[in-house]
A and B are shown apart, each in its own frame.
Chain A
Amino acid sequence: MIKASRHIYSVSEITQAIKGRLENIGEIWLEGEISNFKTATSGHFYFSLKDQNSLIMAAMFANANKGLKFKLEDGLKVICFGKVDVYGPRGQYQIIIERIEPKGVGAQQLVFEQLKKKLEAEGLFDLSHKKPLPQMPFTVGIVTSTRGAAVRDILQILKKGASCVDVVIRSVRVQGEQAAGEIVEAIEDLNNFGKLDLIIVSRGGGSTEDLWSFNEEKVARAIYNSGLPVISAVGHQINTTLADLVADVFVETPSAAAKIIVDQKNSLLAELADSKHQLNFSLSETIGELKNRLTGLTHMLKSPQDRLLEKQQQVDELFAGLNYNLRHSLEMAAERLNSLIQRLGALSPLSILSRGYSLSMLLPQEAIVKDISQIKPGDRLKTVLHQGFFISAVEEVFKHEREIDV
């Protein structure tokens, strides 16, 4: 019975049968995570899709993957559309993918993230590459649409706050298919024009799609390659574009870009005023110091003379003191001398004689007669008087009984 009913398939036959069955599933949507991703030289993508428990081989042929904006890579969760197929030579079933999109994030967002990663890895966002803004940009190039709000905002603020700034506008479309190309060309043109200090790349607010041109790789590269510093001022949102990340400075709004320049001008004016103050201060310091030194020097110059005068005065004072002392002592001496002379005068016998007294001496010895008993009649006496003397002879001698007052 077994023999009678048995049908022996060839491998190809059964494969064909399986293929037929599987192909009956038709076109489906499938969700999974990419792994083992490979690009063949033919341009076909081969990878597998898996979830927690299962895995299915997948192929996306070159004609299907050509227009793909984002990059497929391991770990990426995707939703794809295709049909199940069997690859006979390997006895392998797989899904042939026609369309694919990232799961969770929008495709655009993914493109953005992937491009951002790529440019970052290349160093386009490196701080070391960022050019400093000129101290004062006197001529500013603007890449924007002349019909947009951005140009109006920038011009108004510059006119009000920094009217010394000349503006050169390169008008471009800021959204749509051609926008990115025009923006790139405008950045290059403004660089080649050669008379500018700075470029502002700007557009007003809009949806992420509206701002998309500023996320395109060539725009980012044009900004990166710009010789002039670039301020990116795209949109009115917190959404950061790749242009923002590559630019030397980025601000959230066109107005903010103009304000940077106004601020630069104002801080320069303040610096200049400060410099003037410093110059005034320094000069008055210098002069003050010199005055002090001059006063010091004048003092030093004057002082020898001063000291001489001082010494002279001292000498004069000493002299005066000396004179006084000397005169005083001389006067004292003179006085003492006078009194001595007077006293001497009083003691001199001669002065007694002038008052009428006389002095008698016994001749010939000339012994002074002090007592009556020394003489007797017949003695010769020499008697000295005031202004002369005389010789006499004693006739009689009388002796008093007692002393009498003369």
Chain B
Amino acid sequence: MKEKSTFEEDLKKLQKIVEELAGGKITLRESLKKYEEGIKIAQSCSQVLADAQRKVELLMKKDGKFSLEKFDDVDLEEK
């Protein structure tokens, strides 16, 4: 499962970087550093969204304990 918190934190960080860079009140060295960081975050976030490795599972409960079973949705799609 993906780390939602990381993703949302990354988005926030990216937003901050975009604002800082647009503000233009930082040094060139700093700007370049922020720029690189921002592009990196944007790319990794885009990659996470483009990921196609989804899982579909069934949540089962037995004696109060949860377990996951693979849910085969292939035959569903053929209908």
Binding site for B on A (CB under 8 A): 134-139, 141, 146, 151-152, 155-156, 158-159, 162-171, 189-190, 192-193, 195, 197, 265, 268-269, 272-273, 275-276, 278-279, 282-283, 285-287, 289-290
Contact = CB atoms under 8 A, between A and B. Distances in A.
Contact of B7 (A138, A168, A275, A290): A138
A286 B31 contact: yes
A299 B58 CA distance: 71
Interface of B: 1-2, 4, 7-8, 11, 14-15, 17-18, 21-22, 24, 28, 31-32, 35, 38-39, 42-43, 45-46, 48-59, 61, 66, 68, 71, 73, 76-77, 79
24 contacts: A134-B8, A136-B7, A152-B73, A159-B54, A159-B73, A163-B52, A164-B49, A166-B2, A166-B55, A166-B56, A189-B59, A268-B45, A268-B49, A276-B43, A279-B17, A279-B38, A279-B39, A282-B21, A282-B22, A282-B31, A282-B35, A283-B21, A286-B31, A287-B28
Please indicate which of the listed interface residues A193, A275, A278 has the most CB atoms of chain B within 10 Å of its own CB. A275
B62 to A, nearest CB: 12
Contacts of A152: 73, 76-77, 79
A146 B71 contact: yes
Given A275-B18, A276-B39, A269 B31 contact: no
A192 B51 CA distance: 27
Contacts of A155: 56, 73, 76-77
Contact of A136 (B43, B49, B77): B49
B66 A189 contact: yes
Contact of A282 (B2, B24, B48, B49): B24
A259 to B, nearest CB: 16
Nearest to A266: B49
Please indicate which of the listed interface residues B14, B24, B49, B77 has the most CB atoms of chain A within 10 Å of its own CB. B49
Given A164-B50, A272-B46, A193 B57 contact: no
A204 B7 CA distance: 32
A32 B28 CA distance: 84
Contacts of B11: 135, 268
Contacts of B31: 282-283, 286
Given A155-B73, A163-B54, A164-B54, A141 B59 contact: yes
Given A156-B77, A167-B57, A290 B28 contact: yes
Contact of B14 (A167, A275, A282): A275
The 4 closest A-B pairs by CB, nearest first: A282-B21, A138-B2, A163-B52, A164-B51
